[in-house]
Amino acid sequence: MVGMTTPQTPYPYDAPASKALLSRATAVTPGGVNSPVRAFRAAGGTPRFMASASGPYLTDVDGREYVDLVCSWGPMILGHTHPDVLAAVQGAVLKGFSYGTPSENEVALAEEIVARVAPVEQVRLVSSGTEATMSALRVARGFTGRSAVVKFAGCYHGHVDALLASAGSGLATFALPDSAGVPASSAGETIVLPYNDVPALEAAFAEHGHRIAAVITEASPGNMGIVPPLPGFTQALRRVTTAHGALLISDEVMTGFRCSASGWYGLEGPYAGGPPDLFTFGKVMGGGFPAAAFGGRADIMAMLAPDGPVYQAGTLSGNPVATAAGLATLKGCTPQVYDRLQVVSAAIADATSEELSRHGIPHVVQRAGSMFSIFFREGAVTNYDEARAQQVPAFSAFFQSMLSQGVHLPPSAFECWFVSAAHDDAAVDRVLAALPLAARAVTDSFAASS
C-alpha cells in the first residue's frame, strides 16, 4: 500500500493566506491564537488557519489539504462533519440554541455516560474539561473537608489554578515549569509527585495524608506524550488513597470514550481495590462542541448544589446543541469504530517507527489503546523527566516535513497523535507516503546540529 499515493510535493509553500490571517490575529489576540500550542511556537512555521474539515482532512485558507492527525485534540473520533452528528446538530439547532432550563438531551447524554462507565453513578455536565476537573476537585474538597491535592508531574488537567504545576504539553512546549498568575496560596495546596512512582506516593501520604482531599491523575497520561501507568500503579493509587480517606479522581477527558467504549477504565479496570471515586470527561463526549462532565459515586455527587453545599453552575451547561452532538458521537462509537481506530493507529505508528529505524533515528513509540505518541529518544518513557529528555529539534524537523507534505501532526513533541474512524486507507497511505522524506529531514537536522 505504501507509495500508492503520491505525497503532496513539499515545495516552499509559505501559506500566504494563513500568514495574512496570523498578522491580523496577532493585532487583536495574544500570539494570534486562542490556545497556546496552536501558535506552532515550538514546532516552528506558520500555524495553518483552517477553512473547513471533512472526514480525515483539514483544508486551510489557501485551499491546501492535510490529513488531520490532531482531530481537534481528540473529539473528532468519527472524523470531521460526520453525517450522523451533522444531522443531530442540524436537528437540534432548529429547535433553539440554548434554553437555560433542563432538556431531554442532557438526560440522554448523562444516561449514555453512566451506561458506559460502570463506576459512574451520576454525572454533571459542564462546558470544558477544565471546568470538569476544577469542579471535581471542589466536590472532593467539600466531601472530605480537606484542602490539599496530589497531582503528577506531566499530567495536564486543564488550566485550573491548583493544577497548573508541572502540567505537561502546553507548559512543556514553552518550558514553563508553572504558570505566572497562580497565587502561592492556590499552588501551595498542590503536591506534585513523579508519575509511576509508588514510593514517592506513599511518602507524601505518610507525611500529609491527613490533609489530602484527593489524588487526581490522567487515567493514562497523554499530555506529556503517551505515558501509560505501569502495571499496578493505578491500583496503588486506589490502595493509598483509600487507606488515608482521600478520593481518587481519574481524569479521562482525553482517554474517555477513545481508548475504549468506556475509556481507559474499560481497558484497565475493574480494579481489585475498587474503582476511582470520581471521573472527568470531555473531548469525545462533546463531539467537537463544548460539552464535558464529571461524575462518580452518587454519595459524593450528592454534595453538589442544589442537593448539597458545594456550589457549581453554568449558563451553557448541558447546551442542547452540544449535547446533541455529544450524544450522536457516542452513539456512533460502535465496536467497528474502535476496531478501525486500532487498525489506523497501528498502521501509522508501525510505519513511522519502521521508517525512523531504517534511518537509525532513536525513538520510542508508546501506546494507550489507539492513542500513541513518538518520543525521539532511546528507551521507554515512564515519567515527565524522561519525556523531557527527548530530541525536540528532531521532532520539529519531522513535523515540518510532514506538514509540507500535507500531514497535520500535533505541533509539539509532547502531544499524542489522534486518528479517527474516518481515516480510510487513502488517508493512511498519504501519511505513510510522507514518512521517508520526514525521516530524512530528521537525519539532516542531526547533521546540521553536529
Ligand X SMILES: *Cc1c(COP(=O)(O)O)cnc(C)c1O
Which is closer to ligand X, CB of 372 or CB of 427? 372
Q: How near is the Cβ of 42 to ligand X at its closest, in Å?
A: 17
Q: How near is the Cβ of 13 to ligand X at its closest, in Å?
A: 30
Q: How near is the Cβ of 374 to ligand X at its closest, in Å?
A: 18
Judge whether 213 and 144 are in contact, CB under 8 Å: yes
Residue nearest to ligand X (CB): 129
- Contacts for 315 with CB less than 8 Å, ≥ 6 apart: 98, 100
C-alpha cell at 197: 512512582
Q: How near is the Cβ of 449 to ligand X at its closest, in Å?
A: 32
Report helix, strand or coil for 279. strand
Q: Pick the catalytic residue: 283, 338, 384, 429?
A: 283
Which is closer to ligand X, CB of 171 or CB of 435? 171
Q: How near is the Cβ of 225 to ligand X at its closest, in Å?
A: 12
Confirm whether 251 is a catalytic residue.
yes
Which is closer to ligand X, CB of 318 or CB of 406? 318
Confirm whether 156 is a catalytic residue.
yes
- Contacts for 349 with CB less than 8 Å, ≥ 6 apart: 365, 367, 372, 374, 417
Determine the residue type at 350.
D
| CA 377 to centroid of chain Cα atoms | 22
Q: How near is the Cβ of 44 to ligand X at its closest, in Å?
A: 23
**Terminal C-alpha separation, the chain:** 36
Indicate the DSSP class of residue 45: S
DSSP per residue over 144-198, as a string?
Answer: H---EEEEETT----S-GGG-BS--HHHHHTT-SB-TT--HHHHTTEEEE-TT-H
Which is closer to ligand X, CB of 253 or CB of 407? 253
Indicate the DSSP class of residue 225: B
Cα 78 to Cα 49: distance, rounded to the nearest angstrom: 22
Which is closer to ligand X, CB of 375 or CB of 405? 375
Neighbours of 243 (CB within 10 A): 12
Q: Pick the catalytic residue: 60, 197, 251, 429?
A: 251
Q: Which of 126, 190, 196 is nearest to 163 (CA)?
A: 190
Which is closer to ligand X, CB of 218 or CB of 429? 218
Name the site residues for ligand X (rule: CB under 6 A): 128-130, 133, 156-158, 218, 223, 251, 253-254, 282, 292
Judge whether 130 and 199 are in contact, CB under 8 Å: no
Confirm whether 195 is a catalytic residue.
no
Q: Pick the catalytic residue: 156, 195, 265, 384?
A: 156
Q: Catalytic amino acids?
A: 156, 251, 283
